[in-house]
Amino acid sequence: MATAGPRSFSAAEVRARCAQGACLVSCHRRLYDLSGFVRLHPGGEQLLRRRAGTDVSAALDGPPHRHSANARRWLEQYYVGEMEPGDEQSLSETVDEKVVDAAAQIPEQTDLCYKTVDVEKDLVDWQKPLLWQVGYLGEKYDEWVHQPVDRPIRLFHSDILESLSKTAWYVVFLVWTPVVLYLSWFSYTSLAQGNTRLFSSFTTEYSIPVHKYYFPFIFLLGMFLWSLLEYLIHRFVFHMKPPASNYYLITLHFLLHGQHHKSPFDSSRLVFPPVPASLVIGFFYGVLRLLLPEVLGLSVFVGGLCGYVIYDMMHYYLHYGSPRKGTYLYGLKAYHVKHHFEHQRSGFGISTRFWDYPFRTLIPEETFKKED
């Protein structure tokens, strides 16, 4: 039996669907339904809404911004059919702003079905858990994992393990914020007793008293140290390049971070689950206990823990938030998306770009072009 060819759409039908709230764009006669992606677009929803019902060929090729190979591959996931011959010329390159604003208020309605992964050409079976498959990709793993897709990932056969590997963003806030508040109060009141002295294990004569008024500065020091730790973990652990011959290291990399690069908009995998996080957090607390007096180490630790919570919240927001154009978070979102789609070996800062400067892993400024 012959397979049916791609569906054809007239320009009038495309405009009608866009008027109902859908976001369809064409590129060289190929039609794409971006309705499910419009709120996640790195350049903002309004920018994509302005392109609805138009041909985006020129916008993809630039200027001002030439889209990456990964961005073009990402677009293909939303392919729905072809424009009727001759009708592609009737799609204008701009639309009325009033139409854009009206469409943004209408719930996205579309009955178009689009493919998310070409299972015949992909290297893994998406109907089965991926964690135990990726190790067999060998030398193909690094290229495969950095070709993002828009679909959820299942890691484990066990429903229990699978549920433990997923976390809603607010769980991190609800679990760790009370811990931060309690430990902050405990550290401050302990310092207020006046018994904490720096270098007391080496000398009593020249030891330095640590007053309660120092707590805010120690807390901020902990947050600063966390920002460095965040960078180092992201660069040297999460972005290690596992040997192609090592099944177990490839599997570990995918479990730790590769899954996120393969499916960057899987909302259940953008923050660290509390159970494994508690083990890692406990390890770093133990290290600080060995290096610093108990209360002083705890004060630094609670600042770092607060930095971690902010980092996780910010990471989720950089994927799902809509920061106002021109703000710090808008630039940080664009920076992080560049890391996912174009510069996987640079741009490791998430909550801040600060450490990318001294470590020379900053994404070049010339890759960020203004677009109206």
Q: Report domain extents, the chain.
A: 10-83, 159-356
What residue type is 277 in one-letter code? A
pLDDT over threshold 70, residue 108: no
Complete DSSP assignment for 139-189: GGHHHHHTS--SS-----SSHHHHHHT---HHHHHHHHHHHHHHHHHHHHH
Provide the 8-state DSSP code for 55.
B
pLDDT over threshold 90, residue 42: no
Q: What is the mean pLDDT of residues 322-332?
A: 88
* Confidence label for 284 from pLDDT (cuts 50, 70 and 90): very high
The three-class DSSP label of residue 339 is helix
* Confidence label for 89 from pLDDT (cuts 50, 70 and 90): low
CATH of domain 10-83: 3.10.120.10
* Confidence label for 332 from pLDDT (cuts 50, 70 and 90): very high
- Residue 319 annotated in ligand binding: yes
Tokens representing 159 are 């429903």
- Residue 211 annotated in ligand binding: no
Q: What is the mean pLDDT of the chain?
A: 83
| CA distance linking residue 338 with residue 343, whole number of Å | 6
**302, 222 Cβ separation under 8 angstroms:** yes
Quick: pLDDT tens for 175-225.
999 999 999 999 999 888 877 766 555 555 566 677 788 899 999 999 999
* Confidence label for 272 from pLDDT (cuts 50, 70 and 90): very high
- Residue 340 annotated in ligand binding: yes
Q: With left for phi above 0 and alpha for psi between -120 and 50, is residue 354 left, alpha or beta?
A: alpha
pLDDT for residue 291: 83
- Residue 67 annotated in ligand binding: yes
Q: Classify residue 124 as exposed, middle or buried by CB count within 10 Å of its CB (0-12, 13-18, 19+).
A: middle
What percent of the chain is predicted at pLDDT more than 70? 82
CA-to-CA separations, 75 to 32, 100, 114, 341, in angstroms, rounded: 7, 21, 11, 12
Q: Between 239 and 95, whose confidence is greater?
A: 239
Q: Between 58 and 264, whose confidence is greater?
A: 264
